[in-house]
């Protein structure tokens, strides 16, 4: 196993890429989808089961873990991998995004952000230095720079000011991260939907130098067309030989469109969260298992899917346990959704390696367009 963090590009097809990120805790085949293990668990899933869906890496949330159970406690207990029984790579976010979306009474200065916990109202501070320390205590393999996420809607001037603050914080993050062989630090490009700001941000990050580069500030309500519009040029501002991570994306067609535009890594709560609300992603589009049409349906969700929910249970059963609020409903639907997302990633990796991504993408969209099977 590799002792250092590295990225090897294996093949490209158009702008789409496939490769392998090597870390001391295992390899990550790209393009990669990272399930979100917010508070030390991918909700409703055992870590072994998450691995069975095909995930090489999980995302952990710094904000949640530092507040509860606390980064020092996790460190004393052997680090996040041991604590949550996931021996493979973990990427942690910086905490910045969730401070903006969850915490109360925030105060933002050049130094950092002070805020009150949404759990118990206790006061905390996150700075680039503190975020690096917390992510080190957690034992994260891929550490994210601490950045600022402007509240939307924002003027271009406000987006520019916020981006420049994030670039100053990126430099402080790099200094505080130091030299940690086997661990990676990713910079985060900001700049909203303005091409010049995206370019300026990418240049600032390349100047500092990172192991990988994230594209932040998208998937925050701008819509798919605007997001793809930014990705059309933004990935080209980043170094070819480093992984590119699009944060917080997305729906299956968002993921495919991002990979088409040169993205290597993504994360999203969507497959797991939707699994708990009865929303199922299939090759033929979205199925709402709570709908009455499934009550007498003996067929699987997707007859071609190899996940336990599809192999061993009928739509009628999945409908029943969802309507009855049984815990197995969240377990099975989350498993299916994560399995389907990883199947998309594996399909894209193979297609890119074999130079047939365009044909794969066409079939992906054509199958979705057919829609769900007819009711019984
Ligand atoms: Zn399935």
HEC readout, 100-130: HHHCEEEEECCCCEEEECCCCCCEEEECHHH
- Give the integer Cα–Cα distance in Å for 44 and 27: 25
Tens of pLDDT, residue by residue over 45-73, are 999 999 999 999 999 999 999 999 999 99
For residue 5, report the distance from its CA to the centre of ligand 1, in Å: 33
User: What is the largest distance, in Å, between two alpha-carbon atoms of the chain?
Assistant: 62
* Candidate from 32-36, 74-78, 98-102, 336-340 with smallest mean pLDDT: 98-102
- Neighbour tally for 359: CB within 10 Å: 11
Q: What are phi and psi of 36, to 5 degrees?
A: -100, 120
Peptide bond into 153 cis (omega under 30): yes
213: Cβ contacts below 8 Å, ≥ 6 apart: 186, 187, 188, 189, 202, 205, 238, 239, 242, 243, 244, 245
- pTM (global) more than 0.75: yes
For residue 56, report the distance from its CA to the centre of ligand 1, in Å: 19
Asked if residue 211 belongs to a known ligand binding site, the reply is no
Tell me the mean pLDDT in the region 192-206: 97
Of the candidates 166, 170, 181, 189, the residue with the CA atom closest to the CA atom of residue 244: 189
Asked if residue 182 belongs to a known ligand binding site, the reply is no
User: What are the tokens at 348?
Assistant: 């894209």
Structure confidence at residue 182 (pLDDT) = 96
| Domains in the chain: ranges and CATH | 30-267 (3.20.20.105), 275-370 (no CATH)
- Give the integer Cα–Cα distance in Å for 300 and 311: 7
296 in catalytic set: no
Of the candidates 152, 65, 158, the residue with the CA atom closest to the CA atom of residue 101: 152
Structure confidence at residue 30 (pLDDT) = 99
Tens of pLDDT, residue by residue over 329-351, are 999 999 999 999 999 999 999 99
Residue 121 has pLDDT above 70, yes or no: yes
Mean pLDDT, rounded, of the chain = 96
* Catalytic residue, candidates 13, 56, 141, 267: 267
Tell me the mean pLDDT in the region 95-109: 86
Residue 7 has pLDDT above 70, yes or no: yes
Q: What is the DSSP string of 311-372?
A: HH--HHHHHHHHHTT-HHHHHHHHHHHHHHHHHHHHHHHHHHHTT-HHHHHHHHHHHHHH-S
Scanning 194-326, the segments in alpha helix (DSSP H) are: 195-208, 224-234, 252-260, 270-276, 308-312, 315-323
Instruction: Read off the pLDDT band of 153 (50, 70, 90).
Output: confident
Instruction: Read off the pLDDT band of 102 (50, 70, 90).
Output: confident
Asked if residue 29 belongs to a known ligand binding site, the reply is no
Tell me the mean pLDDT in the region 105-112: 91
Asked if residue 97 belongs to a known ligand binding site, the reply is yes
For residue 309, report the distance from its CA to the centre of ligand 1, in Å: 5
* Catalytic residue, candidates 93, 141, 264, 302: 93
Residue 256 has pLDDT above 90, yes or no: yes
Asked if residue 237 belongs to a known ligand binding site, the reply is no
Asked if residue 70 belongs to a known ligand binding site, the reply is no
Instruction: Read off the pLDDT band of 1 (50, 70, 90).
Output: low
Of the candidates 242, 189, 173, 235, the residue with the CA atom closest to the CA atom of residue 212: 242
For residue 308, report the distance from its CA to the centre of ligand 1, in Å: 6
- Give the integer Cα–Cα distance in Å for 26 and 5: 10
Q: Which residues on adjacent β-strands are paired with residue 11?
A: 18
- Give the integer Cα–Cα distance in Å for 228 and 242: 20
Residue 236 is classified by DSSP as G
Residue 201 has pLDDT above 80, yes or no: yes
Q: What is the DSSP string of 6-58?
A: EEEEEEEETTEEEEEEEETTEEEEESEEEEB-TTSS-TT--HHHHHHTT-S-E
For residue 102, report the distance from its CA to the centre of ligand 1, in Å: 32
For residue 54, report the distance from its CA to the centre of ligand 1, in Å: 13
Asked if residue 81 belongs to a known ligand binding site, the reply is no
267 in catalytic set: yes
For residue 186, report the distance from its CA to the centre of ligand 1, in Å: 33
What residues are neighbours of ligand 1 (ion), with CB under 5 Å? 305, 307, 309-310, 336
């Amino acid at each position: 196993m590799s002792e250092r963090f590295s990225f090897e590009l294996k093949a490209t097809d158009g702008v789409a890429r496939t490769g392998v990120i090597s870390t001391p805790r295992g390899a990550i085949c790209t393009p990669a989808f990272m399930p979100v293990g917010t508070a030390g668990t991918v909700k409703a899933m055992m870590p072994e089961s998450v691995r069975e869906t095909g995930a090489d890496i999980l995302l952990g949330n710094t904000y949640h873990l530092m507040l509860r159970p606390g980064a020092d406690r996790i460190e004393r207990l052997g680090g996040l991998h041991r604590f949550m029984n996931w021996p493979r790579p973990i990427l942690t976010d910086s905490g910045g995004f969730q401070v903006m979306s969850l915490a109360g009474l925030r105060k933002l200065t050049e130094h950092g952000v002070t805020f009150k916990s949404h759990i118990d109202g206790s006061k905390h501070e996150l700075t680039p230095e503190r975020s690096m320390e917390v992510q080190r205590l957690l034992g994260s393999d891929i550490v994210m720079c601490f950045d600022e996420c402007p509240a939307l809607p924002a003027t271009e001037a406000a987006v520019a000011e916020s981006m420049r603050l994030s670039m100053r914080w990126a430099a402080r993050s790099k200094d505080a991260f130091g030299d940690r062989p086997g661990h990676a630090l990713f910079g985060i490009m900001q700049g909203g939907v303005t091409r010049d700001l995206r370019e300026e941000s990418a240049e600032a990050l390349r100047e500092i130098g990172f192991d990988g580069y994230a594209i932040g500030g998208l998937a925050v309500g701008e819509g798919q067309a605007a997001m793809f519009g930014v990705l059309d040029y933004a990935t080209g501002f980043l170094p070819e030989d480093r992984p590119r991570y699009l944060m917080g994306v997305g729906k299956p067609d968002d993921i495919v469109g991002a990979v088409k535009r040169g993205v290597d890594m993504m994360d999203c709560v969507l497959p797991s969260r939707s699994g708990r609300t009865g929303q199922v992603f299939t090759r033929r589009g979205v199925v709402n298992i709570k709908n009455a049409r499934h009550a007498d349906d003996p067929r699987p969700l997707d007859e071609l899917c190899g996940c336990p929910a599809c192999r061993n249970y009928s739509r009628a059963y999945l409908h029943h346990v969802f309507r009855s609020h049984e815990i197995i409903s969240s377990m099975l639907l989350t498993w299916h959704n994560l399995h389907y997302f990883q199947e998309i990633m594996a399909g894209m990796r193979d297609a890119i390696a074999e130079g047939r991504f365009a044909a794969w993408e066409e079939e992906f969209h054509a199958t979705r367009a057919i829609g769900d099977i007819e009711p019984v």
